[in-house]
Structure 1
Amino acid sequence: MKGRMNTFAHDVHASEGRWISSLASRGFDGVHVKLVERVTVRFLLVVIASASVSMSALASATEPFEAFLEKHCVGCHGSQEEEGDLRIDRLSRDFKAGLDSHHWAEALDKVNSGEMPPKDQPQPTQDEIAAFVTSLDARLKDGRAARMAARPAVAHYRLSRKEYQNTVYDLLGVRYDPFMPGELNEDTLWRGFERIGSELSLSPSHVDRYYRAADIVLDRAFSATSADARIVRKTAAELRYGGGKIQQETLDRFGIKRPLRFLLFPGRVQNALSSNWFGKTGPEHSGLYRMRLQASGIRPPGGQPAHLSIGTRTGEETVDGLIEFDITAPEDGPQVYEFEVFLEMPTTLHFCVVATDGVDRRGGAAFRNAIASRSYIFTHSSETILLNPNAPQMFDDKGNGIFSTVLLDWIEWEGPLQTEAERSRREGVLPPDDAADEVVPEHLRRFAERAWRRPVMMDELEHYLQSFRVEREAGETAAEAFRIAMQGVLTSRNFVYLVEGDPEPRERLTDWELASRLSYFLWSSMPDDGLFTAAISGQLIGAGLGTEVDRMLTDDRIERFIDDFSRQWLQLHRVGMFPPDKQLYPGYDDWLEASMRAEPVEYFREMFATNQPIDGFLRSDWTMANARLCDFYGLPEPTHSGFQRVSLTPDDHRGGLLTMGAVLGLTSDGTRHRPVHRGVWVSEAIFNKTPPPPPANVDPIEPNPPQSPKATVRQKLAAHAQNASCAACHRGIDPLGFAFDQYDAIGQWRTHERVAAGTGDDPSVDASGVMPDGRPFTDSVEFKRLLLEDRDKVARAFIEHLCTYALRRVLTVDDQDDLHAIENEAKKNDYRIRDIVRAVALSELMRKR
């Protein structure tokens, strides 16, 4: 009976694979096909496994394997108790089906590491542990070949929005922003990763937006209207004083030789760009623009540097910043600042000086209107004779600013910018206007091969060529008809998806598939000509792979990997998810939040560029900071604007990722720190272990009663963790978060926890704890030291995160041998970051389907 059911399930699985492959082998043909989930097969496997569990368990009840489970595991994970939502007695013993392999792998890891059984339970002997671990490991490995053979024949991984953006740029030299409202749908996240294939489905709303995106991309690539770059320069006199003729006469009358300057102050937005400065603009003028301005800043004594935001206006005092930077240049030493930004034309941008010092601006409309009036002339803080004595004061009698302000001399915009390299990507794509129709197929094939990232057979293009012929017969020009065919190529599943595999089962990737996997791993985009050439010649499956990987690691496009991987690995999308309470944290502002979010990325960039050992993620005597972060952390102000390497001392209470404001803030709720969430983050990001979800209907931690003694969050958690259903998980999570109790909800150092209600003084912070394996620590410094003792585990987890990102899927127990090989290779080079990335790129795991 069982054999017949397994044979039937295998036949259904094979038939389904052929059906899916048949669907996937065609283009969308105007109607995009959503990949069908294999619900039927999985249901059958569940039925089969369920039927076999009791029989298998009975047959092997006397085996040492089952005896160990009965003696040491079922008591907490059986019918009487179900800690962590895990029932050992219900796990499938059919290791070839592998339905519960991940649970068995987790059990193997916990027993092998000594985490299970818990310390308060009877402990097995070393011989019993060795026998159990050996037996379970053998069972998992025995089923591996069957599980690998059962994988679907064709694997599809949809491009994320960021990857789509990079790909159309590298394909056609066109800038397109898929994050704009109304463009591509938001990517579904899995533990911060936005490129996991099983999460990125395709719905009808996606299809419509892909057609729209393809239209925009082709419009910009082959615009009928020329949009040559222009330079527009506006001086302070033009921006602020309508040319400044009257104001200049005033300066001449007083004998003042300094030029007019534009005083930008908090509380009012000012015009920074109008589309009409470039004449009549339309969508064809959208693209990359370079902004240059000369400015300096005035800051109050002890205050923060002036911060300028340039973007679209969102309110009377705010803008949605496209360009953000601190202005540290002094009044008498203005500096030229330069940025490049993508602009959708037509558009209007505004300046906004962000109020970060909390000083009363004596605000309101009267204040803003008085300072903005053209009768308020400004050249220099020392020229008080020009200042209207009836207007609100901007400076004290010594010329010190009362709050941070920006002094603007001029601003210049240039664009839309296009490089020769960008234009070259479009050369020869369109057939000549007078080309015969028989020339078109070859042009389309060349374009499709680059877009689909593989060789293309002419019969695959027949549908798109038919569209070309229909358009030509309807009277369209060859160029317009060809654009319809190109749109089909760009909306095909071959472009939108990375396709790995074919109907014939095979273990390894082809050269072309490997080229794409490498390029989307290290560049978040399509292969370049070098990778295409290596794939054509067969060099990737051999000695040429190392040469190509080394080239890719030194290419400028590696910056995409640095930005994308660090952001996803560390779950930085959560920074600012719960905005801090302004009453509790008045110094927190948007620029601080943006700076916090950038710090881990810049830190990873420096670690990668200098090939530092992985220890730096845990502890270091430096960080990457800008002026805003230096002010927040109490560090010496940097020598120039932007992020730079800053030295740390023990008194700074920083160093490594774990004590960065972003990490400490993303695990808080806006009012208080959350040790449990911090512990979960450490478990996931540093050890790649996701704790089980909390039981349903767990009571939240209540605010401190007004008549009770003030209690810390930790003290309240201790009472909560006494609950039997919660205690097991909290033992492994809480210590990882308690280590950082000396940092509040936004990452500020403290010695006492501020408790709003209750009697007595604010309680002292207790950052001590005991690691799950029994090692004690007193604070975050000792906790980091213990993590360094576990550097092999930390390195292994980092490798697993890299492989999840590179393979675009969740790792399984079947990947363990390959992961171990990567780990051994990385250890030879002292776990240096760039070397680890290289080891992953060159690994056997990267070459397998």
Structure 2
Amino acid sequence: MSVISPRPVCRTCFVAVALFASAMSVSAAEPFESFLEKHCIGCHGPLNEEGDIRIDLLSRDFKAGVDTHHWAEALDKVNSGEMPPKEEPQPTQDEIEAFVTKLDSLLKEGRAARMAARPAVSHYRLSRKEYQNTVYDLLGVRYDPAKPGALNEDTLWHGYERIGTQLSLSPSHVDRYYRAAGVVLDRAFPISSGEARKVRKTAADLRYGGGKEQQQALDRFGIKRPLRYLLFPGRVEQALSSSWFGKTGEEHSGLYKLRLQASGIRPPGGQPAHLSIGQRTSEETVDGLVEFDITATEDNPQVFEFDVFLEMPTQLHFAVVATDVVDRRAGAAFRGALASRGGYIFTHSNETLLLNPNAPQMFDGEGNGIFSTVILDWIEWEGPLVTEAEKSRREGVLPPDDAPHDVIARHLQRFAQRAWRRPVKKEELDDYLETYRVEIEAGEKPADAYRIMLQSVLTSRNFIYLVEGEPDARQRLTDWELASRLSYFLWSSMPDDELVEQISNLPASQAPQTLNSSQLQTTSLHHPQRLATQVDRMLTDDRINRFIDDFSRQWLGLHRVGMFPPDKKLYPGYDDWLETSMRGEPVEYFRETLKKNLPIDAFLDSDWTMANARLCDFYGLPEPEQDGFQRVSLKPEDHRGGLLTMGAVLGLTSDGTRHRPVHRGVWVSETIFNKTPPSPPANVDPIEPIPPQGNKITIRQRIETHAKNASCAACHRNIDPLGLAFDQYDAIGQWRTREQVPTGVGDDPLVDASGVMPDGRPFSDSVHFKRLLLEDRDKFARAFIEHLCTYALRRVLSVDDRDGVQAIVDEAKRHQYRVKDIVRAVALSELIRKR
């Protein structure tokens, strides 16, 4: 994943070079080849092949660039003194200067030749998330492309879902895009548009079928409290039936307002009740669409409100998540004694007259709850809702019913220009208008015939792809292409009206190099001041949250959180809400660092994190006073701080039963330093488990034995220390001092988190390790910028991007590597403005 090497090599004296296939004698070679023969071929030649590199077999054709990434890494390693190795004879400064100068000139000559030969057009298909955002910003339509049967899942490259070479278009894609466009247009322009409806259900309605008989019982006891719905762990109850709104179908999909009044019963010292509302997945669980902790007490219930996107028709359910220890044998008794409508009446925990003597015990002798439960008073759904902003995006799309041909053509052209994100010539739409004419002549209604044209616009390559380079080969983007690149970088969506207005008087093919200085200043988005104004505006717009959510998730590989569900027997405290909370922590942390413009040091270490009540309980932190994620302070004894010690990061590099130091090391190498280690050799023996009669030893000790294999040692010495530094955290990120070893004899061994960095610096534990990383902040900053550029440019970086990346690094360093300033520097960079 390196900017210069998708296949990094071992630290020991790699130099990327090519000699002619026929061996060239040293005496006949120039000083450049002499340097290689003298200092490099010994480790990377026919007699030795460290890191799978044979320098005598690599391509010398710099114009083709086949092995350019190896040459570039050679330049870095010679410049940094990493090669030749310290134990080998060292070149003189003159030799180094001559070698570096020659190699640098060859790289630049090859880069210029490749840029000159670059093809005219590049296509980058929108990811599913970008498609979702684009149809919303275009037509104000909410559409879920990830639902079953919608758009195909995006192919990932190192966690990134927007790399152009990975996002191909197959026949199945085409069919699904046509169906998606149909759904989007149905929602934008429904045949019958009704007003939003509101449905309110009280606890009596939900639990007691109206509660008439139960109310009579309360009257007999003289109890004045209203009936309330007690939601207990281990049972799923209905939260929404589409029949509540009458007959609903696809046209009723959209935004709904969910309101409910609830409180919780919480055991002394236990966790707050957690309510999940979503699709039922099993007898006792739901896939949470809305999830939240309830800290309000039953005497002071709280009203909660959420905006929820619903694909209609649908059924939603309540489920209470409680990680307190509950006797599973009582589950059937709860369902039997508490679920029947007339079997249990609840208004308040101190109303002992209402307690069913045959029901399982729910409260102790002092009225305290034995486990976490939710008390629901009422729930209200309202929708589908359409905001004024959403309505405005649809204005002017449809022509009048009796519009003449020229009016229809103008409406279609305006819509196509917005959808395709560039000016559209009238002749480009001739085929669309001909289809319209044929449909009308065949008896189709004008509205339906026009809808066919809109669907064609939304399934055109000009909508589904970001198209750069038409019609001629060139190095720079046009203003229209630059606007789209910026908006899909910072907003994951199309340019807005203000951005388009900056360039609306320029033709689509107008390249900035054809403008004089006056035109550039007054009309071109490439003008530094105009570009900076727009970037600053975009960074403060609410749509920047899309970038925060998407980039942090892809950069950190958060799609892997929960990929291997932790073993319930080994980690009984792990639950779905904890996993969801873990996945949210690094995203909210990134949001805080960007919006506060904090230095990137915070990614490596900090005295704070972003946590909710569930995470605070897991980390042993004081419970926050408010619901949801908020900034909480950390102390050294909390053993947290920065991304590397978050539960999500530690968990995504585990396998559900044990931690995996090698996987953790690979994650640090890729994410923190943007260096992807080479794949392990084929047929390498796995780490053997400890036999029942063997002595208990740590995974570290077993890895060290495994790494003695000569074919493994070169890579393990660079990877393992990066992961072993976090050996004091188990598979789900819990702090521990001893490693729990399930087999073998003897006590569980003490954890050893010490190690030696690849450059020889020792560390004692994760705290010391993070200090060393902070000393390498320049390397981390460059790697972070490379990740940002990969995301922004939608492609793998190459050696041709080195100068552009370095310019961004220099600019960011002047601003102390503050996160928002780094993102701004990328958006304003020359690299962003080039094809």
- The question of whether the paired residues in 2 share the 8 Å contact of 1:56 and 1:93 is answered with no
The unaligned stretches of length 5 or more in structure 2 are 1-15, 506-522
**Are 1:600 and 2:567 counterparts?**
no
Query: What do the CA deviations read for 1:48-73 (whole angstroms, capped 9, x no partner)?
Result: x9998426956996323222322333
Number of equivalent positions: 801
**TM-score normalised per structure 1:** 0.92
State the AA in 2 paired with 1:626.
N
**What one-letter code is carried by the residue in structure 1 that aligns with 2:416?**
A
Percent identity for Structure 1 against Structure 2: 79
CA distance in 2, matches of 1:126, 1:78: 24
Give the root-mean-square deviation of aligned CA atoms: 1.7
User: Which residue number corresponds to residue 701 of structure 1?
Assistant: 687
1:346 aligns with 2:332: no
- 1:518 pairs, out of 486, 505, 509, with 486
- Unpaired segments ≥5 residues, structure 1: 1-48
Match of 1:251 in 2: 218
Q: Does 1:541 align with 2:526?
A: yes
Cα pair distance change 1:843/1:432, threshold 3 Å = same
Counterpart CA distance in 2 for 1:352 and 1:115 is 57
Residue type of the alignment partner of 2:526: I
Q: Say whether residues 1:826 and 2:812 are aligned partners.
A: yes
Q: Could you tell me how far apart the structure 2 residues matched to 1:204 and 1:237 are?
A: 52
Q: 2:554 aligns with which of 549, 553, 568?
A: 568
Picking from 134, 145, 148, the partner of 1:167 is 134
Partner of 1:71: 38
Question: C-alpha separation between the residues in 2 aligned to 1:442 and 1:85?
Answer: 61
**Contact 1:85–1:692 (CA<8 Å) still a contact in 2?**
no
Mapped contact 2:19–2:55 kept (Cα < 8 A): no
CA distance in structure 1 between the aligned counterparts of 2:677 and 2:800, rounded to whole angstroms: 21
Q: What is the rounded CA distance, in whole Å, between the counterparts of 1:342 and 1:98 in structure 2?
A: 48
Gap change, CA 1:113 and 1:724, over 3 Å in 2: farther
* 3-state SS of paired residue (1:143): helix
**Conservation of the 8 A alpha-carbon contact between 2:266 and 2:272:** yes
The 3-state SS of whatever aligns with 1:300 is coil
704 and 348 in structure 1: CA distance in 2 versus 1, 3 angstrom threshold: same
Indicate how the Cα distance of structure 1 residues 83 and 111 shifts in structure 2: closer, same or farther if over 3 A, else same.
same
State the alpha-carbon separation in 2 of the partners of residues 239 and 458 from structure 1.
58
Residue pair 2:129, 2:492 contacting (<8 A) in 1 also: yes
Q: Which amino acid aligns with 2:370?
A: I
Q: Which residue pairs with 1:805 in the alignment?
A: 791
Q: Which amino acid aligns with 1:484?
A: I
Shift of 1:246: 1.5
1:187 aligns with 2:172: no
What is the TM-score with the length of structure 2 in the denominator? Answer: 0.94
Which secondary structure state, in structure 1, belongs to the residue aligned with residue 722 of structure 2? helix
Kindly state the Cα deviation for residue 355 of structure 1 after the two structures are TM-superposed. 3.0
Q: 1:780 aligns with which of 743, 766, 773?
A: 766
Q: Which residue of 1 aligns with 2:734?
A: 748
The residue number in structure 2 matching 1:321 is 288
1:312-711 equivalence runs, <5 A: 312-373=279-340, 374-537=342-505, 538-542=523-527, 543-711=529-697
Residues 449 and 699 of structure 1, relative CA distance in 2, 3 Å threshold: same
Alpha-carbon distance in 2 for matches of 1:456, 1:273: 45
Whether the aligned pair in 1 keeps the contact of 2:26 and 2:34 (CA below 8 Å) is no
- Residue 343 of structure 2: SS of its match in structure 1? coil
8 Å CA contact 2:200–2:381 kept in 1: the answer is yes
Q: Is 1:134 aligned with 2:101? A: yes
CA-to-partner distance for each residue in 1:100-135, whole Å, 9 max, x for gaps?
Answer: 111211222233334334455444445444433333
SS at match of 2:606: coil
Aligned-residue offset at 1:341: 1.3
Residues 58 and 198 (structure 1 numbering): CA distance in 2 closer, same or farther, change over 3 Å?
A: farther
The Cα shift of 1:84 comes to 2.6
Q: Within 2, Cα distance between the matches of 1:785 and 1:209? A: 50
Matched with 1:300 is 267
> Residues 798 and 166 of structure 1: is their aligned pair in 2 closer, same or farther, counting only changes over 3 Å?
same
Q: 2:330 touches 2:360 (CA, 8 Å); kept in 1?
A: no
Find the aligned partners of 2:733 and 2:221 in 1 and give their Cα distance: 52
Contact 1:607 1:833 in 2 (8 A): yes
Q: How far does residue 332 in structure 1 lie from its aligned partner after superposition? A: 1.6
CA shift digits 1:451-490 (9 cap, x unpaired):
0000011111112111111111111111110110111111
Distance 1:60 1:591 in 2: 69
Q: Secondary structure at the match of 2:48?
A: coil
Q: Provide the C-alpha distance between the structure 2 equivalents of 1:61 and 1:212, rounded to a whole number of angstroms.
A: 67
Helix, strand or coil for the counterpart of 1:535? Answer: coil
Query: CA offsets per residue over residues 711-768 of structure 1, 9 Å max, x none?
Result: 1111111111111111111111111111101001110001111111112111111111
Aligned mates of 1:625, 1:212 — CA distance in 2: 40
Please tell me whether the aligned partners of residues 261 and 377 of structure 2 are also in contact (alpha carbons under 8 angstroms): yes
Question: Structure 2 CA distance, aligned partners of 1:127 and 1:303?
Answer: 70
Quickly say closer, same or farther: Cα 1:359–1:81, change in 2 above 3 A: farther
In 1, distance between residues paired with 2:100 and 2:277? 60
- CA offsets 1:389-442 (integer angstroms, 9 cap, x no match): 111111111111111100111111111011011011111101100111232111
State whether residues 358 and 586 of structure 1, in contact with CA within 8 Å, keep that contact through their aligned partners in structure 2.
no
Counterparts of 1:580 and 1:770, CA distance in 2: 30
- Structure 1 position 324, deviation (Å): 1.1
Aligned partners of 2:280 and 2:287 also within 8 Å: yes
Output the CA distance in 2 between the equivalents of 1:174 and 1:57.
66
Judged with a 3 Å threshold, the aligned counterparts in structure 2 of structure 1 residues 463 and 60 are, in CA distance, closer, same or farther, namely farther
